[in-house]
Structure 1
Amino acid sequence: MRAADATVLVTPRSFASVDPAPRTRLEAAVGEVRGNDLGRPMTAGELRERVGDVDALLAGLDEIDASVFAAAPRLRVIARYGAGVDRIDLRAAAEHGVVVTNTPGANAEAVAEFALGLILAGLRRIAAGDRTVRDGAWAVQRGRELAGSTVGLLGLGRIGAATARRLVALGARVVAFDPAVREAPQGVLLLPRDEVVAQADVLSLHLPALPATRDMVDAALLARMPRGALLVNTARGELVVEEDLVAALDAGHLAGAALDTLRDEPPAPDHPLLGRPDVIVTPHAAPHTREAVTAMGLTAVQELLTVLEDGTPRFPVPPTGDRA
């Protein structure tokens, strides 16, 4: 089959939203491009209704389980628009002969900058100060300095390492845990996980959601953090047991949390982490810069077309999990 005859379903809302080049490239190369009419990531059931005659899927944070593959006999490739593949059943993909690719590194700088922003906002209570002024008060929100603080990183891949370099440059002491990393960036000390957690004035998460990491940040781990510490998550909501985080905040053990991702997105209006002055919540915005969105789009399109033309993609994801 040639790419020119292929039907492609594109689900990410931000695809080609800044620069039309990724969509122009895709539309020029394939037979038909379909979009996501829901304006959000699709569930497996919603995908099953749409993939029966689809040859390729350019996917965002959609739920792609074994039932989706069973409903898509023509599907040859899933090009993930981003790095994480925790919502794709990789073994089912392999069983159905579907190649999965991703875009490692395309948004690393964007997410690292956002993580740094959340760390600074949490330490200096910037969002709480803004709300206070808007509510008619003029009360100082006393915070902590990043310089001299210990920041612990769980995960030291592309994003974690980029975050670490920024933190070191600003005078933080940086400790990190990542069993896959043998050599840390300059100024970063590799330690066992429990030592990182116990020393961290700020604990920042940079891990994929895998069986070994889901629910990692539970009551036991939070209790090992120093009293008055800050939790930051720009990775995956599935890493955190949200009920345990609420309890740690209610008890005053943690000073706050800054979260760019939750288990359910978007959250229900009565979500217990919303509306708290000690919690910052942003709408999974970390990867979304003009530069990163365009880079992710162009890379995902190139990977998708390469597979459709029987070529070898640059960034294949093996059935064992996220390589990025």
Structure 2
Amino acid sequence: MAARILITTDYLQPGDTVDQLLRERGLEPVYSPFRGPRTLEERRSLFDGISGAILASEPVTADMLTGAASLRVIARSGVGYDSIDVQAAVEQGIRVCNAPGTNHHSVAELTIGLIIMAARRLAEVTSAVRQGRWPREAGHELRGSTLGIIGFGPSGRATASLGIALGMTVLVSTAHPDHESGAVHFTDLDTVIRQADYLSLHTRGGQGAGTLIDASRMQAMKPSAVLINTARGSLVDEAALATALSDGTIAGAALDVLESEPLPGGSPLRGLGNALITSHLAGQTVEARARAGLAAAHAVIDVLENREPAHPVDR
């Protein structure tokens, strides 16, 4: 009997290149797209009879893995893996992999797009035009402004390059500075937060890592600053952010990731004109999806064929 491979990533479908690759290796893809929270029963049975899994960013908890007797590998079709209880997987002998280097250009491009939208107030303008108005308020040029970046992995580097190309001064806070990165200026976290006109997050969250941008750090930002988060929803205190946006502590925010997705109906961020929110789209380009899906599939194949995967996060 062919080993069954669970696929929950909603853009991977029967007949695509990932499906074909798995079937060529004698594996049987099983599709259960993640489109929101599953019931308790669905969560408990998700990995029944499954040998490998290619997952979207849904939570994988210890209790879900307890009965996963045949599961040998979980591969994220993306970079983030803080939704997976990696320690529980390790204890069960389950390998955990991700797909770095597959979507950083997509993330960087959306990051800059969000910055431009905020600088030129494009969301408000287009909405007003649809309503029959013709607003002519002045926005801001990016050239000469300061782009603060927290984290200097692939997406942080790609965003820095685009910022430099636009004539921005780029300040970076990272534990791993690369002093050969041309016009990038490396400095401490507090300086980046204090001096940035646009503060963009590109660092990893993690289990127990806590909130990075809380009320006190928002107070340290310029009143004219905009916060951009395309990394992890857990990095930002959303209640504090709603307050900061409402009382003018900072000028705006552009969020592609949230603590809870989709954005809950009762979120204090709803209805704020200076909060631009997108639906976790940063890595969702045709090109990035193709690379990420294939990287996850190769990770599953490698583990099931007793080879070391290219990008393990469990060791």
Both proteins in one fold, TM over 0.5: yes
1:153/1:272 CA distance change after superposition, 3 Å = same
Provide Cα deviations, 1:26-48, integer angstroms capped at 9, x if missing partner: 23324422111553465776332
Question: Counterpart of 1:11?
Answer: 8
Contiguous gaps of at least 5 residues in structure 1: 320-324
Q: Is the 8 A contact 2:9 2:34 kept in 1?
A: no
Counterpart of 1:305 (choices 301, 304, 309) is: 301
Decide which moves more: 29-38 or 174-183.
29-38
Q: Is the 8 A contact 1:122 1:258 kept in 2?
A: yes
The one-letter amino acid of 2:177's match is: V
Question: Counterpart of 1:322?
Answer: none
Question: Counterpart of 2:256?
Answer: 260
Q: Is the 8 A contact 1:124 1:143 kept in 2?
A: yes
Using the alignment, how far apart are the partners of 1:159 and 1:183 within structure 2? 17
1:198/1:43 CA distance change after superposition, 3 Å = farther
Alignment of 1:203-222 (within 5 A): 203-211=199-207, 213-222=209-218
Q: Which runs of 4+ in 1 moved over 4 A?
A: 41-45
Alignment of 1:104-115 (within 5 A): 104-115=100-111
Question: Counterpart of 2:87?
Answer: 91
Structure 1 residue 297: deviation in Å? 0.7
Question: Counterpart of 1:247?
Answer: 243
Question: Counterpart of 1:26?
Answer: 22
Question: Counterpart of 1:201?
Answer: 197
Contiguous gaps of at least 5 residues in structure 2: none
Provide Cα deviations, 1:88-131, integer angstroms capped at 9, x if missing partner: 11111111111111110100111111101001111111111111
Instruction: Specify the SS of the correspondent of 1:175.
Output: strand
The one-letter amino acid of 1:317's match is: V
Question: Counterpart of 2:56?
Answer: 60
Aligned length: 315
* Higher relative contact order structure (alpha carbons within 8 Å, sequence separation ≥ 6): 1
Alignment of 1:1-324 (within 5 A): 5-16=2-13, 20-37=16-33, 39-40=35-36, 42=38, 46-183=42-179, 185-211=181-207, 213-319=209-315
Using the alignment, how far apart are the partners of 2:176 and 2:42 within structure 1? 36
The one-letter amino acid of 1:168's match is: I
Decide which moves more: 98-107 or 140-149.
140-149
Using the alignment, how far apart are the partners of 1:146 and 1:281 within structure 2? 20
